Copies of this chain bind each other. A is one copy, B any other.
Amino acid sequence: MTDTKPFVALCPETLPQRLGGLAALIEKLGENQGSWRVKEVGDGNLNLVFIVEGERGKVIVKQALPYVRLVGESWPLPLKRSYFEYHALMRQSDRDPGMVPEIFHFDVDQAIIVMEFLSPHIILRRALIEGQRLPRIGRDLGLFAARTLFRGSDLAMTARERKQDLALFSDNVELCDITENLVFSDPYFEASLNRHTSPQLDGIVAELRADRDLKVEAQKLKHLFATKAETLLHGDLHTGSVMVTMDETRVIDPEFAFYGPIAFDVGMMIANFWMSYFSQAGHEQNGNREAMRDYLLNVIETIWATFCEEFSDLWRSERNGILYQRSLFEDRGDLLGAEQALDHVLHEIWTDMLGFAGVEIHRRILGLAHNADFETIADLDLRARCECKALKLGRHLAVNRRHIHSLAEINSLAKRLEKETVI
């Protein structure tokens, strides 16, 4: 820490000069920095993102800002989130090779990550709003979740390695704090940053905020989130954190990474597909979305089935950590003991995943950070009808998660809700 330069935000004008000397960039872009074209493309809530194009190719330059971009300088947020993002990307790349962008350079002091420019990839959320039916995402996301979450846990890692990693990521406290407040608490009372489609949703919002069972469940889920340090999570695994083509799926933006419950990533991901499902009615100007709706429910089933299948395969082949050791089961010829334990572990993930899905739906409609799925529906009455159905499903999931047996059951309920007149 001898020659740390003070943090300075990049801009298109200064970027070539500031990063032009980096071997990694010269290799990717070419030596003629003067010819680099820089475009700011960040549409996220937190960071600056640039596409830099040179003679040889393009890269992405991502820089954290010392505040929440969505809110402004009044909400400071430490630059070190870039450090957690970098470390999370490295681990995810090991655990599910090819599923995250390649990293070319990392500058911890300037909070800059230079990474692979993904093209012609687009953000999954945008593709779903456009009604694209991408064939690979269910399987790719199910595998990504199973591989990163299993391999980052005590099921696979040595205790020492995992506890060191836990300590490293436990310093990502400000980003955890955002999730803890924005997902689990703010939606359920009149927090100052909340907003919702008003007055259309005022009735159901009041109902949800008066719903004792829901509030208690949301706080029990927060308790799980804050204390169940089970695996290294992505921490923000929604359809806006996935880039896709018809052939490829990549997961980006793990700056919320920390040790939490396996079920959190899975539940947040699946919730975003249910929101996409209920938002489709708002995007039917250019044609009916019935097939898209079937597709989305199918993707949800594929994510979960793939997750379970891959998690089970890893359980059988890579369970080399301190939990459910082979010495107690397989090594004594007790195959069924290991399978019984697997069933219990998957059952707990299932139950908690539904809860996390429920509150994720709520916070995207009642809290600070809304989804383009609903936000791009210009007709507010129509938007509110879509949102209301999602809110109702979210409440059902969060409160009844211990008594729900299958995705088929939930998806059948979603279809009935979709046909209902709710407000």
A322 and B179 CA atoms in complex are apart in Å by: 11
Whether A415 sits at the interface, judged by CB under 8 Å, is no
Whether A226 sits at the interface, judged by CB under 8 Å, is yes
A192-246 contacts to B (CB < 8 Å): 209, 212-213, 215-216, 219-220, 222-223, 226-230
Closest residue to A155 on the B side, CB-wise?
B223
A227 and B219 CA atoms in complex are apart in Å by: 19
Closest residue to A231 on the B side, CB-wise?
B227
B159 touches A177 (CB 8 A): yes
A337 and B212 CA atoms in complex are apart in Å by: 6
- Closest Cβ of chain B: how far from A248's Cβ, in Å? 33
B216 touches A344 (CB 8 A): yes
B154 touches A227 (CB 8 A): yes
Q: Which of B167, B191, B324 contacts A223 (CB 8 A)?
A: B324
- Closest Cβ of chain B: how far from A336's Cβ, in Å? 7
Q: Which of B163, B327, B340 contacts A176 (CB 8 A)?
A: B163
Instruction: Report the interface size for chain A: residues with CB under 8 A from the other chain.
Output: 49
A154 and B260 CA atoms in complex are apart in Å by: 14
What per-residue 1/0 map shows which CB atoms of A301-341 lie under 8 Å from chain B?
Answer: 00000000000000000000011110111011010110011
Q: Which of B189, B216, B324 contacts A340 (CB 8 A)?
A: B216
- Closest Cβ of chain B: how far from A375's Cβ, in Å? 26
Whether A47 sits at the interface, judged by CB under 8 Å, is no
B220 touches A344 (CB 8 A): yes
- Closest Cβ of chain B: how far from A189's Cβ, in Å? 5
Closest residue to A213 on the B side, CB-wise?
B340
What per-residue 1/0 map shows which CB atoms of A109-128 lie under 8 Å from chain B?
Answer: 00000000000000000000
Whether A86 sits at the interface, judged by CB under 8 Å, is no
Closest residue to A181 on the B side, CB-wise?
B322
Closest residue to A323 on the B side, CB-wise?
B223
- Closest Cβ of chain B: how far from A190's Cβ, in Å? 9
Whether A50 sits at the interface, judged by CB under 8 Å, is no
- Closest Cβ of chain B: how far from A415's Cβ, in Å? 32
B219 touches A323 (CB 8 A): yes
B171 touches A226 (CB 8 A): no
Q: A163-B176, A176-B159 are in contact. Are A185 and B228 (CB under 8 A)?
A: no
Q: Which of B181, B209, B226, B322 contacts A226 (CB 8 A)?
A: B322
Listed A/B pairs (7) with beta-carbon separation below 8 Å: A159-B173, A160-B177, A166-B229, A191-B327, A212-B337, A213-B340, A215-B337
Given contacts A159-B180, A164-B171, 20 further A-B contacts (CB under 8 A): A163-B171, A163-B173, A164-B170, A166-B166, A166-B167, A167-B170, A180-B322, A212-B336, A212-B340, A215-B328, A215-B329, A216-B340, A219-B324, A220-B341, A220-B344, A222-B322, A223-B324, A227-B230, A228-B228, A228-B229
